[in-house]
Structure 1
């Protein structure tokens, strides 16, 4: 298959390696700032002087080990080591809101332990990320946890996307940060747009949509489950996320991409195949000697079965012979015994009267005759039966004779009916042979004309089948003309006055509905599930015509048959989801991704495709830019900054270009850039900012917390609350 060029095996899960605990000696007593990027999927932490942070999945699991029955508290990659701990895992985040503070405390404990902090308190200023539009009580509880549990000297909060923008646009010291740009952040649970003017995030104009990488992964998983409802392997969220990152992409023009995928060849060329693990059926290879022994054993078993069957037939024949002789002897006793004794004898033998005994003897005689003929392979023609009593007048017969005469009359009628049926079959066979001879003569005389006539007949039958299928589809639509005509027929039948059974009996009028074939036409018309005899007849005639064309017309191939044409019409469906044989375990364990590759990414711009009632990214960008005059708008779109994990999906920058260009003046320059490292730029920007003198002024100190409480806020350019105007959510 050509599509085998795009087969990619799903990666196998490997056991993680747990990081070692770092030495704390270098930072002891130095008050080096601690940088914590508290992401919903990944926790990144480290001192601001470190080159790269430590990264762990932001999940915690309380698990009881089965062997020792001891409770375990696992975090990050440690959860994957214990299989039973995965089901108990939970994160500090619920969607895009920080709610599980017990899990947050466990995450911070892990971070501080692996940083080697062995003091009674964490004597380091902390800079931590928070989501755009975070609730005030989440920050308050986090601040309380930091000061009460860890006794940090100060804590400051920043928006992750703004710090990523800061890292990619920060000036060389000592110049202040004064960059302009439009930050588009693709997060795990949401996507946000933050305008930055003069180095200050304008949170009053920021917007957010409730669609992120997690929702896109779930949507892709639902599409796969809908496409493969009987897939033999469970597809996990981790595997789906891997497929999203490696095979999905944005389309600059999604409708045009769908139109291109309407071609089955284009759909096949665009698909990517994911091969899941499978268990291949094992077939034991046998030597020629073993195969010969098995064949000889089967032949021997066949001979034994034939001998047993022959012996069984012979025993049954002997038993029937004995029963026949016994019944003949029993019938001879009828002349020797009185009527009362004979009646008692019949009752003892299980017969009610003489007729039942005679019928049993005739049946046994017929069975013996057939069995002997089969055993001796005799194929003698049965002699015509004779009916002598039919020529005898009724006056010359007694009561038993009249009864036998009536029986012979019935037998003669049955015999004559069978003979007429034989003659009718013979006549039909002769007519069929005559038609075949005429058809053969016509074919020899004019093959082109004969083939043209049969092709027209094939086309007529296929049109009838197509029209019948079209009517079935139309009946499923209650607004179609066929469905409305059906309802009208049902209404007419319901309104028809039927004569009651009592009145029919009194008037002598009999209800003859159903006696005429036309009566059943209305039944088939209103009953969509009623089988049609015409359909089976048409299919049989179509098969006969196509067989003749395949046999005698060299220009008619299997591609011209009804089955091939139907398969060609469903080629798009076959390309969308190819079918594999039941014995092909490898093919059954494949997932073909084609339309889904672009459909999942398009949900960022049209969340309603996935059932989310929210504006798309294009509408949000237009809404944010509409708040600025053209001069400031030009400063923003000259540096559209894209960050976050999903920003690495192919085609995003051209898609944003196609979205923003029509809503901007033609002369306004537009430049879209991607973060250098969407996964680490936020942490690196925070680490760089923590080394500046400004960092010391943006944090809430322990003294301020003790005086004002956890609700204490310091407004600064990188935080959520940097102006007096409340933040607007795109969902509102």
Structure 2
């Protein structure tokens, strides 16, 4: 579980001090790249094993940045259109152009120039594909002219180092949970048994990424703050492995004191909003003057538009009057020639237009308009062709007659609608006057009666709506067809039944009499008295509601009340507080590391760490049970994920379920799960027999890739 530093490693100055026989040790991990000299206790250079290629903001040139970038330099580069790229795919190197950038940077930081004239020991994962190993050898030999190379498994180097410290035995099991993959390697007589190893594509990256996803879904408005690096830091500080995942979930589900004690909070930066100062009297006066000035400007603009509108209407009216006067001065045969150049077809249309423009002009000037009944009193004079029989009209006059009939019908409908609105307004005004007289006589009694009337109408309208939606339900709970029908619907059903019964008696004579066709009118749904009554009740309810809102300030309509079952609407704006910037880590603390034991939680259908150990032990068919007992006595856990609290007890509990009763079992953590692999490789490369385990450049050019197929170093030398 590495920590990502933002400081870039400095270039080493003592490269020339080391003899060409001193090997260079490289721990090529999926998370970090470590390089140093054999025999030393710590690597000289460590950086993140990624490459980024941003563009310079000024020149637009692309630059290559390996490892962690310096924030002070990033202000000159645009990193929004690029992302980190790794040479690994599940702990196997497959992007060798990126790997070349990483090696260039690593050798340059170590102090090498163009050529690396030292033997190299590089770590790799167990059962690394031969294609990946051959391409790595080709890159080291042909690009850097390395004299000799050797490849070894990082987990085995870590196991051998801890064996020297007495933490594990010669026979044992190495469980390595790395950045993007986890391995279980049985070790018998100091050598790994590759046929019995086990691998799962799950590691620390997946734990961090799962934590980032959960927090981003939980706090979507803080996604910019929940970066991958921050999620890695939170994982290292707060995450742990639950010994019993189900019990831990139940503990947090109950929400007792123990769960609250295990909850952690991450407080994001928050600046309280400043309270606005109370404006002074001069400021209030200035704002009032500015508001008045803006209002006056709007009034002037409205007056100018009104003046323009009046001028346009007056010009149009003068033009129509001149056209009508011109028609009066000419003979009848010349009328059609004059009208052909206009949009009018007859004198009546011009008169109607003059009347319409006159009404609009009066309205624009604010003058009272003449009653439409008076203006349109002589519709027969306006539309003379309506009363003339069709036999006496020419084809052109017939077309004009149809148009006049349409215009007359429209005018009559408009007059009827206006008369109806006038009657309704008069009735409403009269009702309001009567209500006001009653209120003045006894205000308390009037208000009480008005509230009673409102409740009565509300219940009546709600009942009708409920019946229309769900149907009537009697006290016994029956909801039969007859009980859901209204009186009008029942009458329609009776008429249909009787008509069908009469038709079946003999010859079908329906329609022979005019009275038969009245049946359709009776069965029409538009004749439903209940619907008309409902409209009247709703209109009366609206009037009573409006009246109560005018005279009772404490009145609240039922439609404005939120029912108890409804979800309350939150206010559109609420000032953000300190609690809004707090990230709470509760169940996420142990839910994310659980993917190491249950990869199916993130969609990976593979075995967990405890199950992998059981699989590796079952694959050791050639090993007898006493040696299996010796192996389970020495189980070493290494890799970055080994730093998670609770990992060892969980492994003990999981492996014990797969072993016989009272069989020996010992699980220990490596001294340094992160650096032990490099340190073990450093000790191995510093031994005198290391030169016998390497592949020289001459052998590579003579035998080619076939030499790598048979290559396997001996860890016990």
Q: State how far apart, in whole Å, the 1-side matches of 2:59 and 2:419 are.
A: 91
Q: State how far apart, in whole Å, the 1-side matches of 2:226 and 2:689 are.
A: 48
1:209 matched residue in structure 2:
200
Query: What is the TM-score when the length of structure 2 is the normalising length?
Result: 0.62
Q: 1:268-292 CA deviation, whole Å, 9 max, x = no partner?
A: 99586685999x99x9999986775
Q: Is 1:354 the counterpart of 2:352 in the alignment?
A: no
Q: 1:590-647 CA deviation, whole Å, 9 max, x = no partner?
A: 9887766555433333333333342333432332244567655554444443221233
1:135 matched residue in structure 2:
129
Please, which of 170, 173, 188 is the counterpart of residue 182 of structure 1? Answer: 173
1:367 matched residue in structure 2:
360
> Residue 222 and residue 318 in structure 1: after superposition, are their counterparts in 2 closer, same or farther (change >3 A)?
same
**RMSD value, Cα:** 6.4
> Residue 293 and residue 169 in structure 1: after superposition, are their counterparts in 2 closer, same or farther (change >3 A)?
farther
Q: Describe the SS at the equivalent of 2:121.
A: strand
Q: 1:427-484 CA deviation, whole Å, 9 max, x = no partner?
A: 99999999x9999759999xxxx99x99xx89x98xx99xxxxxxxxxxxxxxxxxxx
Q: Describe the SS at the equivalent of 2:596.
A: coil
1:43 matched residue in structure 2:
33
Unaligned runs of 5+ in 2: 380-385, 390-403, 471-516, 527-538
Q: How far 1:191 sits from its partner (Å)?
A: 0.7
Q: 1:185-224 CA deviation, whole Å, 9 max, x = no partner?
A: 1122211112335544333321001223345555566667
Please, which of 28, 42, 45 is the counterpart of residue 52 of structure 1? Answer: 42
Matches within 5 A, 1:555-566: 561-562=562-563, 565-566=566-567
Q: How far 1:55 sits from its partner (Å)?
A: 0.9
Unaligned runs of 5+ in 1: 1-10, 391-396, 466-508, 518-536, 569-573, 720-732
Q: Is 1:339 the counterpart of 2:332 in the alignment?
A: yes
1:609 matched residue in structure 2:
601
Q: Is 1:299 the counterpart of 2:302 in the alignment?
A: no
Contact 1:189 1:211 in 2 (8 A): yes
1:479 matched residue in structure 2:
none
Q: How far 1:134 sits from its partner (Å)?
A: 0.9
Contact 2:172 2:633 in 1 (8 A): yes
Contact 1:35 1:128 in 2 (8 A): yes
Contact 2:24 2:118 in 1 (8 A): no
Segment drifting more, 295-304 vs 422-431: 422-431
2:490 matched residue in structure 1:
none
Aligned residues: 599
Q: Describe the SS at the equivalent of 1:603.
A: helix
Segment drifting more, 105-114 vs 43-52: 105-114
Q: How far 1:320 sits from its partner (Å)?
A: 4.1
Contact 1:92 1:100 in 2 (8 A): yes
Matches within 5 A, 1:313-324: 313-317=306-310, 320=313
Q: State how far apart, in whole Å, the 1-side matches of 2:279 and 2:351 are.
A: 61
Q: 1:683-729 CA deviation, whole Å, 9 max, x = no partner?
A: 1222334455665665557787778944453453479xxxxxxxxxx
1:619 matched residue in structure 2:
611
Q: Which structure has the larger Rg over C-alpha atoms?
A: 2
Contact 2:54 2:64 in 1 (8 A): yes
Contact 1:201 1:718 in 2 (8 A): no
Q: 1:288-331 CA deviation, whole Å, 9 max, x = no partner?
A: 86775455234213212213322432454465457557756876
Q: Is 1:195 the counterpart of 2:191 in the alignment?
A: no
Contact 2:611 2:654 in 1 (8 A): no
Q: State how far apart, in whole Å, the 1-side matches of 2:598 and 2:180 are.
A: 16
Contact 1:700 1:712 in 2 (8 A): no
1:713 matched residue in structure 2:
711
Q: 1:319-373 CA deviation, whole Å, 9 max, x = no partner?
A: 545755775687677776643466666666754323223322332343344445x
Please, which of 78, 90, 93 is the counterpart of residue 98 of structure 1? Answer: 93
Contact 2:562 2:568 in 1 (8 A): no
Q: State how far apart, in whole Å, the 2-side matches of 1:387 and 1:113 are.
A: 101
Q: How far 1:19 sits from its partner (Å)?
A: 0.9
> Residue 716 and residue 441 in structure 1: after superposition, are their counterparts in 2 closer, same or farther (change >3 A)?
same
Contact 2:57 2:78 in 1 (8 A): no
1:122 matched residue in structure 2:
117
> Residue 661 and residue 564 in structure 1: after superposition, are their counterparts in 2 closer, same or farther (change >3 A)?
farther
Q: State how far apart, in whole Å, the 1-side matches of 2:247 and 2:361 are.
A: 80
Q: State how far apart, in whole Å, the 1-side matches of 2:227 and 2:287 are.
A: 46
Q: How far 1:682 sits from its partner (Å)?
A: 1.3
Query: What is the TM-score when the length of structure 1 is the normalising length?
Result: 0.61
> Residue 45 and residue 405 in structure 1: after superposition, are their counterparts in 2 closer, same or farther (change >3 A)?
closer
Q: State how far apart, in whole Å, the 1-side matches of 2:357 and 2:313 are.
A: 7
